[in-house]
Structure 1
Amino acid sequence: MQLFLLTTVTMMAFASNSLLTRLAVDGGHMDPNSFAIVRVLAGAVTLALILKARGGQIEIGQGRRVIGAISLAIYMAGFSLAYLTLDAGLGALILFGVVQISMFGHAAATKMQPSARQIFGASIAFVGLLLALWPGPGGQSDILGAGFMTLAGLGWAAYTVSGRAEADPLAATTGNFILCLPIVVVLLLAFATQTSVTGWALAVLCGGVTSGLGYAMWYTVLPRLPQNVAPVVQLSVPIIALVAGALLLGEEISLLVAGAAALVICGIALAITTGARSKRTP
C-alpha cells in the first residue's frame, strides 16, 4: 500500500508541472521565460539540499553534464512557452507522446529490431499524437504552442537518453539542474518581462516541489517497481493532467483530444509492455 501511495503521489506531482505552469503563464502571473528560470533555480536548490541530506556528491565535472544541461534547458524553455496557448492536459499529452515515441525510435535505431507489436503500438500512438496536433475545430489550432511542446518533448527525450547510464540519477539530475541554470538565464533573461508574488510562488512550487521532490520520490520508488510496471504507471500522467485541467482550470476536453489521448496511451502501452525498461519522467 505504501508503494502504491508513493507512486500515485509521484505521478500527480509530474502532472502538476503542467497545471502549475499553465496557471502561472496563461493566468498572467509570470511570463514563460521568467517562469522557466525560477523553476530551474528552485529545482536546483531543492535537489542540492536533498542530495546533501543524503550525503551524496553533486556531479558537475563530467562531459555528460553538458548534454544533460543543454537538453534540460530546451525542455524547460519549450515547456513554459507552450503553455501560453496550450491547455494543461493537451500539453501533457503532446509532451508525453513525443518523449515516448522519440525514445522508442532511438531504441529501435540503436539497439535491436523492434517487434511487430512494438511497431504497431508506436504507430497507433503516433496517429493519436497527430490527432492531438490537428488544426481546426476540436483539435489543436495553435501550431506555435504545439511546436514549443514538441521541442520540449525532444529535449526531455535527449535528456533521458543521455542520462540512462548514470550510476546515481539523483546526483546527475542535481548537477544537470545546476548547470542548466546559467544556460536558461543567458538565453531567456533578456525576454523576462513580468513577475508577481503569485507567479514566483507557482514557479517555486513547480521547480522545488513537483519537479525537485517529485524526481526524488521517483528515484525512491523506481527500484521497487518491476521493470515492466515502471513505464506503464507513467501512462497515468497525461490522464491526470487532462482530468485535473478540466476540473481545476475549466479546460474543455474535446472528443478529438479524448480520442487522441486514448490512442497515444493505448499505443504506447502496447509498445512498452514488451521488454519495457524504466525511464525518467518529465
Structure 2
Amino acid sequence: MKLTFLTALTMVAFAANSVLNRAAVSSGTIDPASFALIRVIAGIVILCMVLSVRGTPLPLFRRARVLGAVSLAAYMAGFSLSYVALDAGLGALILFGVVQITMFGWGAYRGVAPTRRQMAGAGVAFAGLLLVLWPGPGSQTDPAGAVMMVIAGIGWAAYTISGKSEPDPLPATAANFVLCLPVLALFLIGPDMTARPLGIGLAVVSGAVTSGLGYALWYALLPRLAQATAAVVQLSVPIIAIVVGAVVLGEPVSALMVMAAALVLGGIGWAVTAPKVPVDHS
C-alpha cells in the first residue's frame, strides 16, 4: 500500500510540473525564461541538500555530464517556452508521447529488435501524436508551442538515455542541474524578463518540490518496481495533467484531445507491456 501511494504521489508531482508551468506563464506573473531558470536553481538547492544529508559528493566532472547538461537544458527551455501557447494537459501528452517514441526508436537503432506488438503500439501512439499535432479545424495546438514541446521531449529522452549508465542517478541529476544552469542562462537571459512573487513561487515549487524531490522519490522507488510497471504507471501523468488542467485552469478537453490521448497512451501501454523476445542460446 505504501509503495502504491508513493508511486501515485510521484506521478502527481510529475504532472504538476505541467500545471504549475502553464499557470505561472499564462498568468503573466513570470516569463518562461525566468520560470525555467528559477526552476533549475530551486532544483539545485533541494537536490544538493538531499546529497548533503546523504553525505554523497557531487560528481560534476564526468564525461556524461556534457550530454546530461545540454539535454536537460533543452528539456527545461522547450518545456517552459511551450506553455506560453499550450494547455497543461496537451503539453504533457505531447511531451510524454515524444519521449517514449524517441526512446523506442533509439532502442531499435541500437539493435534491440522490436516485436510486432511493440511496433504496432508505437505506430498507434505516433498516429495519436500526429492527430493532436496536425493543424486544421478543431485543432487546439499552436505550432510554435508544439515544436518547443517536441524539443523538450527529445531533450528529456536523451537525458534519460544518458542517465541509464549512471550507478547512482540522484547525484548525477544534481550535477546535471548545476551544469545545466549556465547553458540555460546563456540562451534564455534577455532584456524582457519579468518575475513577480506568484510566478516566482510557482517556479520554486516546480523546481524544489515536484522536480527535485519528485525525482529523488522516483529514483528511490524504481528499484522496487518491475520495469513494465514503472513504464505503465507513467501513462497516468498526461491524464492527471489533462484532468487537473481542466479543473484548476479551466482548460477545454475536446473530443479530438480525448481520442489522441487514448491513441498515444493506449499505444505506448500496448508496446511497453509486450513480452521480450526470447534469446536463443543454442
**How would you bin the TM-score normalised by the shorter chain?**
over 0.9
CA contact (8 A) 1:33 1:191 kept: no
RMSD: 1.0
The residue matched to 1:229 in structure 2 has which SS?
helix
Structure 1 residue 136, shift from structure 2 partner: 2.7
Map residues 176-191 of structure 1 onto 2, 5 A cutoff.
Answer: 176-190=176-190
Cα distance in 2, alignment partners of residues 138 and 239 from structure 1:
20
1:22–1:84: 8 Å Cα contact kept in structure 2?
yes
Match of 2:224 in 1: 224
Greater Rg by CA: 2
1:191 & 1:17 partners in 2: Cα distance? 26
Aligned to 2:264: 264
Change (3 A) 1:189 1:275: farther
- Does structure 2 conserve the Cα–Cα contact (< 8 Å) formed by 1:134 and 1:140? no
Q: Please name the residue that 1:280 is paired with.
A: none
Residue in 1 that maps onto 2:142 = 142
Residue 279 of structure 1 corresponds to: none
For 2:142 and 2:186, locate their aligned partners in 1 and report how far apart those are by CA, in whole Å: 27
Q: Percent identity?
A: 57
Q: CA deviation at 1:221?
A: 1.0
Seen in structure 2, the aligned counterparts of structure 1 residues 141 and 236 have a Cα distance that, compared at 3 Å, is: closer
Q: Which amino acid aligns with 2:150?
A: T
CA distance in structure 1 between the aligned counterparts of 2:63 and 2:192, rounded to whole angstroms:
30
SS at 2:228 equivalent:
coil
1:19 partner amino acid: V
Which runs of 5 or more residues in structure 1 are unaligned? 277-282
8 Å CA contact retained: 1:34, 1:195? yes
Q: How many residues align?
A: 276
Q: Paired residue for 2:36?
A: 36
CA distance in 1, matches of 2:192, 2:261: 33
- Equivalence for 1:68: 68
Within 1, Cα distance between the matches of 2:159 and 2:192?
Answer: 25
Name the counterpart of 2:5: 5
The CA distance in 2 between the partners of 1:145 and 1:191, in whole Å, is 22
Q: Which residue of 1 aligns with 2:99?
A: 99
CA contact (8 A) 2:132 2:141 kept: no
Pairwise CA distance, 1:140 = 3.2
Instruction: For residues 126-164 of structure 1, give each alpha carbon's deviation from its aligned partner in whole angstroms, at most 9, with x where no partner exists.
Output: 000011112233323410000000000000011111111
Q: Distance in 2 between matches of 1:141 and 1:77?
A: 19
Cα deviation, residue 275, structure 1: 5.0
CA change 1:191–1:255 in 2 (3 A) is farther
Gaps of 5+ in 2: 277-282
Shift, 1:58, TM fit: 1.0
Amino acid at match of 2:93: L
Aligned residue identity for 1:195: A
Taking the aligned partners of 1:39 and 1:192, their CA distance within structure 2 comes to 18
Cα distance in 2 for partners of 1:137, 1:30 equals 31
Give the deviation of 1:56 after TM superposition: 1.2
